[in-house]
Each structure stands twice: as C-alpha cells, then as structure tokens.
Structure 1
Amino acid sequence: MFWADTIANEIITKRQAPYRVFDWWTPSGMPHAGHVRTLLIHNAIAYGLKLHGQASTYFYGWDDMDPMDGLPPDLDAATYNQYMGMPLYKVPAPKPGFASLADYYTAKYLEAIETLEIYPEVPKTSELYESGQLNSMIALALDDAAKIRAIYADFGVIHSSDWHPFQVVCDNCGKLGTTYVTDWDGETVAYRCMPNLVTWAQGCGHEGRKSPYNGNGKLPWKVEWPAVWMVMEEDYEGGGKDHFTRNSSRDYGRRIVRDVFGGEEPIGYPHEFFLIGGKKMSSSKGLGLTANDAAHILPPRLMRFFVYRISPQRQLNFTPEGDSIPLIFDEFDRALTAYHTDPESDLGRVVLYAHQSDSPLPQYTMRFSKVTFLIQMPHINIREIAVREKGDALTSAEDEELAVRIEYARRWLSTYADESAKFTLQPDMPTVTLTHEQAVYL
C-alpha cells in the first residue's frame, strides 16, 4: 500500500474527523529546499484523507515567537547583533514592506509554497500567544513546574529548583532568549534578564515581575510543542528524524502532554532528510538550495511526484545538475503509464497524489529529453511533431503538459543542463574550401 494511504487509514482509525494535519517552521533564515519535502509529505497526508472521503485541513505554521538565536548570512551583523534574543516577529525586516524579520522570511517561503500549488492554513505562534489561546497551557506548565523539572531530569537535563518553564519578554530591552523566570505566584512571574544566560545574546540585567499571558513570553520549545498540540487539536504532525530520536523533543512532548496537560500526542512519523548533492541544508546558516529555487526546478506535479515516490522514512537525495531532471520526467512518464493501466497500483497512487486535481491526466507525453532537443531548433513546430508522434490530435491535458515541458526544458537548458545538451543551429551554411580528395569523396 502507498505510504500516504497507510497513514491516512491510521488517522481515520485512531482519531475523530474532521482531521487536522500540521507542520511548523521557524522563520529564522531563508527557507531551504529540505523544508519542501516535509511540506509536501504533510500535504500528501491531508490530501490522502480527502481521497478517503474525509474532511481534513492542512496547517503549515510559523514559530515566529522564537528568539533570534543565530545570524543568517544574508543579514548584516553590525545591524542585527543588537536584536539577538528578541522574538523573531519583533525583529525588523531587512527590506521595507515587511512587518518583521519573521514576516520577511515567511513571505519568501509562501512564494515557494504557492509555486508548488500548496495552499495550507498558516497559523503563527505569536498570534497563539497574543490572542490568549495558550494562556491555559502556560498556567498548567507554571503550576506544574516541579513536575516538568522532574521530566527533564528523567532525560538527563537537571534544572535548579527555581527554574520555571517560561521566558518572558524583558520590559527593558525587549529580549526573550535572555530571561530567566524564578517565581510564579499564580498571576505573575518574577524574572531576571541575564547578561550571560546564553552565548548568542546578552541580557540587560533588568529584574521585574509581570503576567506571563497574552504574548508577554513563551514556553520553552519542549513544553511549547505539546501545548500547541493541545490548543490546535492536532491529529497528525511528523517531522525530521532529529525530532524523533531517543530523548528527543518528541519524547519530552509525549511525557508533558500526558502528565502535565492531560492530553495525547498527535500521530506522527519521522522523515529522513532531503539532501542536495548529498548535503544537509540549514536556513539559519544559509546552507543549500533555497525553497524558492527548488520550487522552480520542476513543475508542481513533478515535484510532488519526485517527493511522494519515496517513503518519507528513506533519505531523498537530489542533484539538479546533469541529466537528473530529464530522468525524473522519464520516471514520471513510466508511472503515468502504470496509472492508466492500474490506478490502484502503488505507482498509480503516487501519480494520483501528485496530480491533486479532478482534471484528466494526459495519455500521451513527449519525452522531456526530446523536447529539450527540439526547442533548440527554431524552425521546428513541436506541437506538429507531437501530433504526428501520437497519431492523433492532442487533448487539452496533453497540450497543457507539452507547454509545461517546453517551459521547463528552456529553464533546464539555462540552469542545470550540461554543455553537451546544448547546441545552436547556424543560420547559413558555412563557406569552406574542399580539397580535391574531399570533393572526390563527397
């Protein structure tokens, strides 16, 4: 059975409709191509529930309440060092037209998401805090601070007896990542903004007391994650395998959601990494292909196919250079044949999930490598050749697919194709002088 069908069946069996599928991303840098895999995996699961006749909603949220704890390479250190430790949604954007740094990076990612024809709901943790939706979870966490300290200790992380699972925004400097909460009286928390609490930001030394509610601070990640599970009523949330290893944040969350919040974790499975040229990527360090770059390498249906054809628990490696892209088109064409032969086969299901439309799929496709060859000859009418090759007029789906392949063939030739795949026809016959032997031979 196709992996997305398996997960959809499990969700239907164990949870109650309507179903809510979630993924979250921290807008701390330019989104990289690795995020595209998790985006599409969760999209497949939400779509799979609909294929099984169930109501589902896909949420792709932004952890924009997180403190700025690293400097992306596209930002100027002299300008941005002063903001280290502030919530990302309070850090100014590097360009006009954006409400914050988080909004700037989020907008970049939304461009890629829309290019991939994915349209999730987009909640923000800053809004969950400011609206008061997380207030009840904050109160439970602070009331049970001793229990949370004990859970941390079970995983080998020892906190002092005055540590509380919360950080407030300092009233003096506006930083979040540098504050340490020492007391909770049921209404307010006491805190210190510490100069040396972390290595990546410096606190101002201010001490104060304030309410923890309505956006005045945030829970630490290992407590926030299960709190969000509860508030958002999540049914499914997977993630990178680093979140699912032993003693990982998922293990913490499982304990905290059960023992502190009185709930249960959503269903979720680890995803292997999406490597580009064998290398892992990082947003905050600016490593690897950006999500926007990845979104434009293949047509949306082909990108979904490329991701869906491999189980999420297997590593996905992609090198756009050379003939990798033509080979992906060839693989899709073989899968398309399998779909038309048996739509319920595993390959047929991959194509169905990749298509995500009620419109018909093409029966005929011109091989991508042939398209790349023909478009380099301006005098050639590719559509006429396609009609002759098929032996009949093209359907609207086939004509549309040919147009897409022409567009992406041009894109491939101008970016990732080897020089051996390119040629230019000369407008005139060259003037040459043949030797006597050459003339006799000809």
Structure 2
Amino acid sequence: MPIVAQQSTETDWVSRFADEVIAESESRAPGKPVVVASGLSPSGPIHLGNLREVMTPHLVADEIRRRGYEVRHLISWDDYDRFRKVPAGVEGTDESWAEHIGKPLTSVPAPAGSAYPNWAEHFKAAMVASLAELGVEYDPISQTEQYTSGVYREQILHAMKHRGDIDAILAQYRTKQKPKKSQKPVDEAELEAEEGSGAATEDDGSGSAGYFPYKPYCGGCGKDLTVVTSYDDETTELAYTCSACGFAETVRLSEFNRGKLVWKVDWPMRWAYEGVIFEPSGVDHSSPGSSFQVGGQIVGIFGGKQPVGPMYAFVGISGMAKMSSSRGGVPTPADALKIMEPQLLRWLYARRRPNQSFKIAFDQEIQRLYDEWDALERKVADGTVLPADAAAHSRATRTAAGELPRTPRPLPYRTLASVVDITAGHDEQTLRILSELDPDNPLKALDEARPRLDRAENWISTHVPADQRTVVREEPDTGLLASLDEQGRESLRLLLEGLDTHWSLDGLTTLVYGVPKIMAGLAHDAKPTPELKVAQRSFFALLYKLLVGRDTGPRLPTLLLAVGADRVRKLLGA
C-alpha cells in the first residue's frame, strides 16, 4: 500500500517528476507497478553522458519507491542494434572489425583478449559493475533475447499490417529540413557524446518497393544491409535481398526471428509493450522530427501512450584532453568511480535538473568539488542546509534500499591527494602524516580513510602529469639560503621556532599565515589586507622553493606535515 506523502517542502526536480509520474501511472494503470525506462547501446564504451540516461529515471524511481510505491526501472540493452563503426582507440581492435559493420552488436566479436563472448557483452560488463557501485536497482532487458525469442512477434506483425499508417506519420517529417547544427566550436569529446548511439539517425524503413518498418538481418552475411521487396499480410511471407552479399530469401514473418523493427517504430512499440510511464531522452532524440517526437504519434498504433519524457542536456568533462586522445572517446562511469566516491558522482547528477548541462571534473577542479561536497555534509549535520540541497544530498548518499557504503573518516580530498602525491603512495608514511592531521583524534589505520584515500591516489597517479607531481628536495638549496636578506632569514626562524607547538594541520595553517603577520607587526588574528596578502604570497613562494624547488605546490600545512619536522628543519637551513 503506497504511503500517502504529506505536502513536500522539497523543491528539487526529482520530487516534481515523481509527483507527475505517480499521477500519470495511477491514471493509466492504477494498482500496477510504476514503470520507468532507460536504453543503453553497448556499441562501445558507455560514457558519462549516457549515464544521465540511467540516473535521471533512477533518481525519480527511487523517490517513488521511498513513497511506498512499487517501481520497475527497465534498462533495455540495445544489443540487437547494428554495429555502426569501430570506435577509435579501443584496445584489442583494428581495422578488421570494420567487416562486421551492419551485424547485431551481439554477433560482433569482442575485442581481442576480452573475457566476454561478444562486443555487446564486453561493453555492458563495465557499466553493470558501475551501476552496482552507484546503487542503481533495475531490471535488465536484452533486446537480442527479446527479438530472437519471438517476444515481439505480435507487435512486429501489427506494425507490418499498419505500415501505411506508420508511413503517413513519418512522411510528415521526411520533407522537413533538418535544423542546422550549431557553428560554435566543440571539442572532440563533446561531439562524440552528442552522437549518442546513432539510433536517432537510423533510416526509417523507406525503400523503392514501398515502406516496411521491419529490417531482417541477412541469412547470408548476417548484416542489416537488406531491402524488403515484398510482404503478404495474409501469409506473412516476406521477401528480401541483401545489398552486401547478394543473398535473397523469402521467410514467414510469423515464424522468423532474425530482424528488428526500425528504431523510430521499435521505441514506441516498447513504450506500449512495457507500459512505460517515464523515460528521458538526449538531445539527439528530442529535436523536431526525431525519435521521441515521432514516437509520440506512432505509439498510438500499438495502443500505448508516450511516456513523460524530459530531454536531458550534455554532460561535459574537464581535464580529459589527455585521456580522450589516448582512448578516442569520452570517459566512462568506471573511469569516474576510480577517482571519486559513488556519492559524489550521484550528487553531480542529482543536483542539476535534466535540462541543465554540467561538467564532471578529472582535473584540479575535482578538489573544489570535493570541498563543496564536504561543506554540504557539514550543513546537513548542523541543520543549516536548504531543503533542495538536503534532498540532493539524501539522493546522493542513500537509496530506498539503504545508505551507500561510505568512508568512515572522510578527510579532505585535496589533503589526501597532496599526501599521496608527496609519499608516492607509501602506506607507512601516509599513515604517519594523516595521523598527525588532528593529534586529538588521530587516524589509527588507513582503512578509516578509504575508499576516499584510494580515489585520491588514483587521481594523482593517473590524472596529474609527471611534471606537476611534487618532489621534495633531498638537500637544502644553499645558494638560495645564502642569498636571503635579514627579513627572509627572520621569517624562516619564526616558522622553525613554531613547528613543535603547531604540529597539526590547523596549527601549521595558523603558523604559515601568521609569520608574515608577525613580520608586519600585526596580531595573529589580524584581518588580511592587500599588503599582507602580498607578503604572505612571497613567504609561501620562498617556502615552496626551499622545499620542492618550485614557486607552488600542495597546500603548505599539508606539505610541511608530509615532509616531517626534521627534514623541514634541514631544508630550511636550521
């Protein structure tokens, strides 16, 4: 029995869609589970733009579950789609895979060395693992299994019987000019993400012999480069020829299972067959005359209704130029989960409305994102959080099934990154430094800081170029020390004098910011002035040069802790 929710104070987009979807479901199919859907084509690495196709309905479905309703989130693996092209940069492939273009994805060999039986299963596997880590509950549907087992037989025969009606709907759009593409410059990753699976631009079944919404896969070469030449509604005999290999045959469609409806008919057929109430779609499916709009008219032929279907916007990536060039594509959820915890990734999708674009950081920006997340956690803990932010936080950290596993001691990500940068991941040194961050409540074991620590270490090792890594000097820079004026020597003396009494993260922060204040004759709690900020920057640059031989580096309090008091004294000339 559904829980009757009180008027919600939440103003987040998820609650609003949940209200709409529940009302629509009770209107269409009272008493039945609410059905939301996603579709993913495992035609190559499934990227973070595709993840929005899953996270948008997942978050809505989870909110509906929280209210006590039964929900089914269907994820259709479009693994019976044609293999369109060989993606660039996929390890274990070469130009020979091009010979499989036109075959179903489940009939294409997996990349060399893969543990999976075919191309589709190979690329599904990483996404399945990522969805489990993200806490996404769903019912998987393989379209290969659906079509080849005859599940859609009645729907296929119905579509062929009503092909004239379908053709008339499609004809309204064939003569319309496609809107011109934006002339703004976009990067390679954005172009690839906008392409989607390619289903949005598939042919609609038109041919010289008439309109047929069904396309067989050839019995000779296995490709879909076939043309239906005739069809008999009474006997269901269908004749086709293959333009790739010349094969031709006549089959009974009432018994034949080696083909599929064209995309613009397949999608609305599934809406009706599955009773889908909510399914978002990307820009490529949502423009005038595209799949979602046309499907809204075709779905009536199958006795169904178009789902509530918001368009979702582009998901951008910052700091991925290096990875894009090596992989030939945009990063996947698995790539993101190597450097960030599931809660942070869920939050990025939960806090923005589907029609708002946003970026996922793989560069230095990830540290700022983590700072923002930790600040939100503190507001939630002390009760000062705004309702919409509280809702996004709740959706990020838990599902209707319970809370996602979390790091017991979530130390600041930028601190963890700095420490593993300096220690090169040496566990004993890392624990020593982290245990000194808060002497009153020292970290006792690295597992308390995991998995966030592991994510920070992965980020440092895979996304920070070698020339930006921190290397602590082995010996003092005697030339620089000798060249210091009296003011420079005095500032170092004050710092060294305060090390023992300030040896914690907060203490060292106070110390390094306080030395320039003392030098300027100010109190330790003096407000920063433009002149003081200049003096602090000069002092920090001096410390960086003496410790790591550069003008900048990790935050100085963290760097000092990582280097250790004895070595700091040595490098600063004590």
TM-score (norm 2): 0.66
CA RMSD of aligned residues (A): 3.5
What's 1:71 paired with? 86
Q: CA deviation at 1:143?
A: 0.7
Q: 1:41 aligns with which of 40, 44, 56?
A: 56
Alpha-carbon distance in structure 2 between the residues aligned to 1:293 and 1:143: 46
Instruction: Verify the 8 A CA contact 2:409 2:448 in the aligned structure 1.
Output: no
Q: Evaluate the alpha carbon distance shift between residue 191 and residue 77 of structure 1 in structure 2; reply closer, same or farther with a 3 A threshold.
A: farther
Deviation at 1:333, TM superposition (A): 1.4
Gaps of 5+ in 1: 196-201
Contact 2:18 2:60 in 1 (8 A): yes
**Separation (CA, whole Å) in 2 of partners of 1:429 and 1:225:** 67
C-alpha deviations, 1:186-207, integer Å up to 9, x for none? Answer: 3434232242xxxxxx242424
- Higher RCO (CA 8 Å, separation ≥ 6 residues): 1
Tell me by how many angstroms 1:404 deviates: 2.6
Distance of 2:483 and 2:93 partners within structure 1: 68
2:463 to 416, 420, 424: 416
Provide the rounded CA distance (Å) in 1 between the counterparts of 2:83 and 2:479. 70
Counterpart residue identity of residue 240, structure 1: G
Q: Counterpart of 1:23 in 2: which secondary structure? A: strand
| Matching residue's letter, 1:403 | R
- Tell whether the 8 Å contact from 1:2 to 1:346 is kept in structure 2 after alignment: yes
CA-CA distance at 1:212 after TM superposition: 5.3
Larger Rg: 1 or 2? 2
**Correspondence 1:3-152 to 2 at 5 A:** 3-16=13-26, 17-73=32-88, 74=90, 76=93, 78-95=95-112, 97-152=115-170
Where does residue 219 of structure 2 map in the other structure? 171
Q: Which moved more, 1:106-115 or 1:235-244?
A: 106-115
Distance 1:269 1:433 in 2: 64
Unaligned runs of 5+ in 2: 1-10, 27-31, 176-205, 424-428, 490-572
Q: Is the 8 A contact 1:93 1:101 kept in 2?
A: yes
Question: In structure 2, how many angstroms separate the alpha carbons of the residues matched to 1:217 and 1:60?
Answer: 21
The AA in structure 2 aligned to 1:242 is D
* AA partner of residue 416 (structure 2): V
- Distance in 2, Cα, partners of 1:39 & 1:3: 16
Q: Distance in 2 between matches of 1:104 and 1:362?
A: 31
Contact persistence 1:189–1:209 (CA under 8 A): yes
Q: Which SS does the other structure have where 1:98 is aligned?
A: coil
Matched residue, 1:199: none
The Cα offsets for residues 346-401 of structure 1, whole Å up to 9 and x where unpaired, read as 1111110001154498898532222333443527635544654xx668999xx977
CA contact (8 A) 1:339 1:349 kept: no
For the 8 Å contact 2:37–2:279, the answer to whether it is kept is yes
Q: 1:187 to 1:355 in 2, by over 3 A?
A: farther
Deviation at 1:419, TM superposition (A): 6.5
Contact persistence 2:161–2:233 (CA under 8 A): no
Q: Which has the higher helix share?
A: 2
Amino acid corresponding to residue 14 of structure 1 in structure 2: E
How many residue pairs end up in the alignment? 427
Q: 1:257 aligns to what?
A: 299
Comparing 175-184 with 119-128, which one deviates more in the overlay?
Answer: 175-184
- Which residue pairs with 2:181 in the alignment? none
Distance in 2 (CA, whole Å) between partners of 1:145 and 1:400 is 62
State yes or no: 1:316 paired with 2:367: no
Output the amino acid matched with 1:255. Q
- The whole-number CA distance in structure 1 between the counterparts of 2:120 and 2:365 is 34
> What secondary structure is seen at the aligned counterpart in 2 of 1:122?
strand
1:11: how far off? Answer: 0.8
Is structure 2 residue 273 aligned with structure 1 residue 231?
yes
Is the 8 Å Cα contact of residues 339 and 345 (structure 1) preserved in structure 2? no
% same residue: 24
In the TM superposition, what is the alpha-carbon distance from 1:182 to its structure 2 partner?
A: 2.5
- Return the offset for 1:33: 2.4
